[in-house]
Structure 1
Amino acid sequence: MTTAEREAVHRTAARAALGVPGVVALQPALAERLALAASHVFEAVAAGASRAPEGAGVRCEIASNGVWHLEVRCILDEDHRVVDVARRVRSDVRVAVNAYLDQHDAAGPLTVRVRVSVTRTIRPAAWRTAY
């Protein structure tokens, strides 16, 4: 799998997670936050770009046996039940990544394993003002 294909799986997973009702945002890992701080983020924000890359909050690896391991770190709306949203994120990400891999003729039978971590719950209005 090429780097571009891996990034496409990464973006597919992020879009699927963000599409779940109750997911406010994805929580970037420390390395992603440091990279953002070191870049020209302020210029991008001033130009109207988002603050985090589309795939921030998603880690993906493919094992030598063809098993995809994805971790999705979510910030949720506190008005939604955490367990229900986490289950839906896991299901939707697995379905979306499997569909992507099927469309792009991934070699051999693949297994997609998704782990969802809820890093915090907040009110969506607080998210817009705090970040």
Structure 2
Amino acid sequence: MTAVRTTSVERIAARAALAVPGVSELQPSLRQALAEAATRVRRTPGSVAPSPESGIHAERAPRTGAWHVEVRCVLDEDRRALDTARDVRESVRSAVDAYATRHGIPGPVTVVVTVTRTTRHRPSHQTGTTAP
């Protein structure tokens, strides 16, 4: 599996996860966060922020062709975390499976969703107010 295809799978997975109602953002793993911190020192002011794919890790098993996708997400507390995590798992699995099939690299897709935290959802019409 080439790096470009793995990156594409991660991009597809990130879009699918972020499209699920109740997902606030994707959060990088500790490994990804440390790598980002190390490169941040070398970055110039005004450079591009880390991509949403930093909360996704995808790899393909060379012998079986199976995809394993890890999704780390922050959820809005206004929806049940279990329901949202299930929706993320199914959305990502479907999107990666469709992408892989279209590109002739099908295989089973396993998705693991980790909820790293929940956040209070603040509607935009209440700007300037603080939540209790």
Q: CA RMSD in A?
A: 1.8
Identity rate of aligned residues, in percent? 49
Tell me the equivalent position of 1:20.
20
Q: Structure 1 residues 124, 36: CA separation in 2 closer, same or farther (over 3 Å shift)?
A: farther
Task: Report the Cα offset of residue 35 of structure 1.
Answer: 2.1
- 1:62 equivalenced with 2:69 (yes/no): no
Give the structure with higher Rg (CA): 2
What are the ranges of 5 or more consecutive residues in structure 1 without an aligned counterpart? 126-131
For residues 52 and 114 of structure 2, the distance between their equivalents in structure 1, rounded to whole angstroms, comes to 18
Q: Kindly provide the CA deviation profile for residues 47-106 of structure 1, in whole angstroms up to 9, marking residues without a partner as x.
A: 6x4x32231111112112111111111100011110110010000000100111111111
TM-score for both structures, normalised by structure 2: 0.81
SS at match of 2:79: coil
The code of the aligned residue for 2:55 comes to G
What are the ranges of 5 or more consecutive residues in structure 2 without an aligned counterpart? 123-132
Task: Report the Cα offset of residue 40 of structure 1.
Answer: 3.9
* Runs of 4+ in structure 1 over 6 Å off: none
For residues 27 and 95 of structure 1, the distance between their equivalents in structure 2, rounded to whole angstroms, comes to 21
TM-score for both structures, normalised by structure 1: 0.82
The code of the aligned residue for 1:59 comes to H
Task: Report the Cα offset of residue 28 of structure 1.
Answer: 0.4
For residues 120 and 43 of structure 1, the distance between their equivalents in structure 2, rounded to whole angstroms, comes to 30
Q: Kindly provide the CA deviation profile for residues 4-52 of structure 1, in whole angstroms up to 9, marking residues without a partner as x.
A: 01110111111100111100011101122122222248756x46x4x32
For residues 4 and 71 of structure 1, the distance between their equivalents in structure 2, rounded to whole angstroms, comes to 18
